[in-house]
Amino acid sequence: MELKWLEDFLSLARTRSFSRAAEERHVTQSAFSRRIQALELWLGVSLIDRSSYPTTLTAEGRQFLETAEETVRMLHASRLNLQASTRPSTQVVAVAALHTLSLRFFPRWFRRVEEQVGELGSRLLPDDFHSCLQAIVEGSYDFLLTFHHPNVPIPLEPELYPHIVVGDDSFVAVRSATLTRGADGAPLPLLSYASNSFLGRVATFAQAQAGAPPVQVAHTNENAMAEALKFMAIEGHGLAWLPRSLVARELEDAALVAVGPEIPLEVRLYRSTRRTRPIVDKVWNAARALASETMQNSNRAD
């Protein structure tokens, strides 16, 4: 039995809707349904009356509801107490970051933050968008570092999760310089992300823009890791849409060639207003100051 099953059940009991609960828990409806079924299988009883709408609990579900609420409350309280008792003297902030940003953006940016607030420890979660989103929503991380594009909204309430634009990047289509297929105008093999991933949705938008090269899907990376697609592109397997920061060196060395238009991306830092430790506020204020400084320098350069 997993804690997230209980949290899923509580969300469903509150919203009385599989679709709304799945959205609240930041998973697909099919994945959410499988987790509810897994909880029912573990308990050996049906918790949900699926013959009615809105969704209602069975008698066993109503009986179990109080136990689930108390269990989740006690586990979260125990985790906070344990973390507080074992926290090292160095001040630590927890950041969930997309894979690419954890490699290419976070180290240098965090060093600049330390110059503002003093020496810091960090707890970094490099993962895909959905896992990072879940980490900040569930309250175990202070910050979320992610790409943003206006055509792919981020489902966080602005009042609870404000953001700062801390950097910029772009999404560029690249292929190996040795890839000859497509030279005659035929579609290039496309190295694609999982369709429901954040970068996958940005890539779908980018591919639909005027000037994008014709493609046909050849390989799909279900883990949504841009780094994996980068190395597939270098080996000549096809074209991939990637953050420019990830392939800057390969473009400079001509190992990869840019094809078609570039799509601008923001780098955003989100925070949870539920986590208000003094060090979190200091890092947030430092990030805001650095963002303002970067914007001023950019305006002067223009």
Residues 251 and 280 in one domain: no
* Final residue of a structural domain among 52, 86, 120: 86
Euclidean distance between CA atoms 85 and 108, whole angstroms = 31
Q: How confident is the model at residue 162 (pLDDT cuts 50, 70, 90)?
A: very high
CATH of the domain at 154: 3.40.190.10
Q: How confident is the model at residue 102 (pLDDT cuts 50, 70, 90)?
A: very high
Residues 213 and 228 in one domain: yes
Predicted pLDDT of residue 49: 87
Predicted pLDDT of residue 297: 67
pTM over 0.75: no
Phi/psi of residue 35, nearest 5 degrees: -70, -40
Predicted pLDDT of residue 224: 60
ω into residue 155 within 30 of 0, thus cis? no
Residue 149: count of CB within 10 angstroms of its CB: 18
Residues 145 and 208 in one domain: no
Q: Which domain holds residue 255?
A: 169-264
Count of structural domains within the chain = 3
* pLDDT above 60: residue 88: no
Residue whose pair of structure tokens reads 């799909």 in the numeric block? 220
Residues 175 and 206 in one domain: yes
Average model confidence (pLDDT) across the chain: 87
Predicted pLDDT of residue 266: 95
* pLDDT above 80: residue 196: no
Residues 136 and 173 in one domain: no
Q: Which residues of 267-286 are buried (b: 16+ CB within 10 A; e: fewer)?
A: bbbbbbeebeeebbebbbeb
